[in-house]
Amino acid sequence: MAEVIINGPEGRLEGRYYHHKTPNAPVALVLHPHPEHGGDMNNKVTYALYRSFVDMGFNTMRFNFRGVGKSEGRFGQGEGELSDAATVMDWLQTYNPNAPACWVAGFSFGAWISMQLLMRRPEIEGFISVSPPANMYDFTFLAPCPVSGLMLQGDQDLIVDKDSVTQLAERLSQQRNIEITERRIEGADHFFTDRLDLIMTDVKDYVTSSRGNKLPSFTESVTA
């Protein structure tokens, strides 16, 4: 795992990047929850997503939005954070010009930003959206949603309304050639306390199934 500093729209952006030795590995970008509510790239759910993609052989990046950690700037009300994510995606693709696929994942506020990003980046193949805050933010921009993906939520989540996530998944699944898989993790709260391993299992199962035999094989030791 390497610490990276990327020139962002409002100054430096701090990230953590894992690059596999496998040639031409796919890439994944992971986005953290709300900066004004303690969200950062070291959030446990964010790290579980990051580690899931690392374990599957992806060249994987997580980073701090503007104003968080060593990242410069101030909270941008979502618009700024989307710009940050696009900048980091540019960095990933510049560093991995032959990557065969790109995935994006996010938790809570990060899920909302990730869904906006995939609307602007046709190269994104799939997404993982953990506790997408459909009862707090407008998701109508997903018209149409360009790719299929997985939505995960705890069945004891008291922050993001479960029915709102189900309704969002059902609405998007009605679109042609789009399938949204919704899974609820039993006994999990919004932060998936004592259930992080189940997030990783579901993510790996979904991505592996979606990509078939296109995931790279590797034997390197991961210490991220």
Tell me if 221 is assigned to some domain: no
- What's the pTM value of the predicted model, to 2 decimals? 0.94
Six-digit token string for 87: 């900048």
**Tens-place pLDDT, residues 45-63:** 999 999 999 999 999 999 9
Tell me if 11 is assigned to some domain: yes
Residue 187 and residue 219 in contact, taking contact as beta carbons nearer than 8 Å: no
Tell me if 224 is assigned to some domain: no
Domain of 206 in residue numbering reads as: 2-214
Say whether 45 sits in a helix, a strand or coil.
Answer: helix
**Tens-place pLDDT, residues 20-43:** 998 899 999 999 999 999 999 999
Total domains, the chain:
1
Q: How far apart are the C-alpha atoms of 122 and 218, rounded to whole Å?
A: 27
Tell me if 223 is assigned to some domain: no
Tell me if 220 is assigned to some domain: no
Domain containing 111 — which CATH number? 3.40.50.1820
Residue 178 and residue 172 in contact, taking contact as beta carbons nearer than 8 Å: yes
Percent of the chain whose pLDDT exceeds 70 = 95
Tell me if 82 is assigned to some domain: yes
Tell me if 222 is assigned to some domain: no
